[in-house]
């Protein structure tokens, strides 16, 4: 007979499969279509493994990867909120907390507590791992916009000032990665991918 614990874990696994249906504003690097949130989380996790050597402070890479994999689970209920949409961003925190309560609540209590705490740590960005994960979460769409010639930025009328403001948190973890991101942003402006 299947244990209650396993049933709860499977219920969570089934529920988060819906993340594959959440479409983000960011396009795949070949511009063929918009990515979904599950693809974003996977790409973010791989980037977190590869780029950790560029942080300004030591990080537990495995913990950062776990944050990458669960940070957008709440989008199953909330959907993707475009970081440049200030109106929707104002309501984001409250809606995501409700979603976190429901979704992590599907898990056995010990795992619900562990993964909810990890999600909250990511959101607070106060630990080296959370700052690093947040940096990679911002760097990934900058790369996508650069390689798609600013497709999402231009579709939404995003200007350079907003891109610099939203993405400066990259520098909270890595001076080198923020320098790289600024180079890409400046090159995007020069090439006409991003308007002033």
Residue spans of the domains in the chain: they are 4-190
Q: Is the pLDDT of residue 150 over 80?
A: yes
Per-residue confidence (pLDDT) for residue 46, from 0 to 100: 98
- Mean pLDDT over the full length of the chain: 95
Q: Which residue has the tokens 């970081």?
A: 83
181-190 average pLDDT score: 98
Tell me the pLDDT band of 85, cut-offs 50, 70 and 90: confident
161-182 average pLDDT score: 97
- Helical axes 37-51 vs 61-70, angle rounded to 10°: 170
70-92 average pLDDT score: 87
Helix (H, G, I), strand (E, B) or coil at 38: helix
Query: What would the pLDDT profile of 97-129 be if each residue is shown by its tens digit?
Result: 999 999 999 999 999 999 999 999 999 999 999
CB 24, CB 80: distance < 8 Å: yes
Q: Is the pLDDT of residue 56 over 90?
A: yes
Per-residue confidence (pLDDT) for residue 172, from 0 to 100: 97
Q: Is the pLDDT of residue 2 over 90?
A: no
The CA distance from 112 to 100, in Å, is: 10
Per-residue confidence (pLDDT) for residue 187, from 0 to 100: 98
Per-residue confidence (pLDDT) for residue 138, from 0 to 100: 97
Per-residue confidence (pLDDT) for residue 81, from 0 to 100: 83
Tell me the pLDDT band of 90, cut-offs 50, 70 and 90: confident
What does pTM read for this prediction? Answer: 0.94
Tell me the pLDDT band of 62, cut-offs 50, 70 and 90: very high
Per-residue confidence (pLDDT) for residue 186, from 0 to 100: 97
Query: What would the pLDDT profile of 4-22 be if each residue is shown by its tens digit?
Result: 999 999 999 999 999 999 9
SS (H, E, C) 87-114: HHHHHHHHHHHHHHHHHHCCCCHHHHHH
Q: Residue 33 burial (CB < 10 Å; 0-12/13-18/19+)? A: exposed
Of residues 112 and 82, more confidence is placed in 112
**Is the domain defined by 4-190 classed in CATH 1.10.3210.10?**
yes
Q: Is the pLDDT of residue 162 over 80?
A: yes
Helix (H, G, I), strand (E, B) or coil at 157: coil
């Amino acid at each position: 007979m299947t244990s209650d614990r396993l049933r709860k874990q499977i219920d969570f696994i089934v529920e988060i499969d819906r993340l594959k249906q959440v479409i983000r504003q960011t396009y795949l690097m070949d511009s063929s279509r918009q990515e979904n949130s599950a693809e974003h989380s996977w790409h973010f996790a791989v980037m977190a493994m590869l780029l950790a050597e560029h942080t300004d402070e030591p990080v537990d890479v495995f913990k950062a990867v776990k944050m990458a994999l669960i940070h957008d689970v709440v989008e199953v209920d909330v959907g993707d909120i475009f970081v440049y949409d200030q109106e929707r961003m104002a309501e984001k925190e409250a809606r995501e907390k409700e979603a976190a309560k429901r979704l992590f609540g599907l898990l056995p209590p010990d795992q619900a507590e562990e993964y909810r705490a990890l999600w909250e740590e990511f959101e607070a960005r106060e630990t080296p791992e959370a700052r690093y994960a947040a940096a990679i979460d911002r760097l990934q769409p900058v790369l996508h916009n650069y390689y798609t010639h600013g497709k999402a930025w231009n579709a939404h009328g995003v200007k350079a000032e907003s891109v610099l403001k939203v993405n400066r948190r990259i520098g909270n973890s890595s001076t080198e990665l923020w320098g790289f991101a600024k180079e890409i942003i400046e090159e995007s402006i020069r090439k006409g991918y991003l308007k002033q």
